[in-house]
Chains A and B, each alone.
Chain A
């Protein structure tokens, strides 16, 4: 937990609230400007979830949903580092992930996509970053799936990420994509992210991370809002 002011949310990196090609934003995006809030303790602190909040199999989605065998699909390992904007590792950051199975079907009860559920795959897990800010989890490469945003709309393969950094202001929920996915250019959620920033959401294939005779490896580094080294006047006033 830190008490230094946190750097501002970089709106050249984050998607705007209203982006009409993503239809659900139209009735859900606030219409009035956000009101700037000077940081006090409420903003510069946040909950701390250490290694004790993660169970043994939480970081292995190929194992934590098994009932009678192995989940189907392409086994992968996803690893990377969580850093702040100065390149410092964010240690002890809780990462929660969730995703569709190899067929593009979510376990979630409201997902009605006509693709099979996998009895041995839940598709959710979590892990905590180590002293270097590094994390790693094993999973199955998620499939693409159709959605109702527009005619013939398909989401690219992706894994949802939720992160707790050093403060509630550094909170981040995002999605990781895969390199070379032809659906990225057609996806309003990805395209709704500013050009020049959206590429940060694409993981990189790595032969070094790939485990021989076991699984392909992808690297996805994540940068959270960091400490503002120049405290500003009136932050607590």
Chain B
């Protein structure tokens, strides 16, 4: 094949049966898994748990979504693998995804955030969104990407901080449609 200009291979849906291929251990199939919801530990950083559910246009919980996390370390650096996590929404009794990770650092002038990649049956092309943190109001107000989002929709990108017996947790629900439709980015 020559080194000539070529066109992108089209996306197709992840479908309903990804579990044994992409998240085999989470769903108890006999195959390894490249990443899960327990993201690489980094002892110096603040440990957090991020949970959420995915809702369709009728407000029903989506039990077959695949969520991927990509984030910076506590110093705002992007590493080779440590910042990547992956979970399906089909194993939790409440239909949640659960990521145990660290609070990411941020670039100067920007707020900390996590990039989410969302796949599911019914999505022919995956979508991207961002998760910001509710306890960073000043940083969020100054963030250049949040500034591009219509003010009335910014709340869909803010994970709500909750204190639990096990530490700090954030809740981030994803609404594919409806009044609170999550902001998705073309990146």
Contact = CB atoms under 8 A, between A and B. Distances in A.
B67 interface: no
Contacts of A189: 12-13, 124
Contacts of A225: 8
Contact of B34 (A27, A38, A49): A49
A28 B55 CA distance: 8
B32 A173 contact: no
Contacts of A9: 8, 125, 186-187
A138 to B, nearest CB: 16
A25 interface: yes
B1 interface: yes
Interface in B26-43: 27, 29-32, 34-35
A125 B16 CA distance: 17
Query: How many A residues are at the interface, by size bracket?
Result: 35 or more
B145 interface: yes
A22 B124 contact: yes
B15 interface: yes
B122 A29 contact: yes
Contacts of A125: 31
A14 B56 CA distance: 22
B17 to A, nearest CB: 4
B17 A110 contact: yes
Contacts of B31: 64, 122, 124-125
User: Which of B3, B121, B124, B145 lies at the interface centre, i.e. has the most chain A CB atoms within 10 A of its CB?
Assistant: B124
B25 to A, nearest CB: 12
Contact of A98 (B21, B64, B119): B21
Contacts of B11: 14-15, 172-174
Contact of B5 (A38, A43, A86, A171): A86
The interface residues of chain B, by DSSP majority, are classed as loop
Given A30-B176, A53-B34, A94-B34, A197 B7 contact: yes
A124 B24 contact: yes
Contacts of B35: 47
B6 A48 contact: no
Interface in A17-71: 17, 19, 22, 24-32, 34-43, 45-49, 53, 55, 58, 64-65
Interface in A173-213: 173-175, 189-190, 192-194, 197-198, 200-201
A42 B18 contact: no
The interface residues of chain A, by DSSP majority, are classed as loop
Interface in A214-234: 221-225
Contacts of A116: none
Given A49-B81, A85-B7, A160 B19 contact: no
A122 B183 contact: no
A97 interface: yes
B10 A193 contact: yes
Given A171-B126, A200-B9, A47 B4 contact: no
A154 B87 CA distance: 29
User: Which of B1, B10, B17 lies at the interface centre, i.e. has the most chain A CB atoms within 10 A of its CB?
Assistant: B10
A96 B22 contact: yes
B186 A36 contact: yes
27 contacts: A8-B186, A9-B125, A14-B10, A17-B124, A25-B124, A29-B177, A30-B176, A32-B153, A35-B185, A42-B71, A47-B81, A49-B81, A107-B20, A110-B64, A123-B20, A124-B31, A160-B14, A160-B15, A173-B12, A174-B12, A197-B7, A197-B10, A198-B10, A201-B10, A221-B1, A223-B7, A237-B144
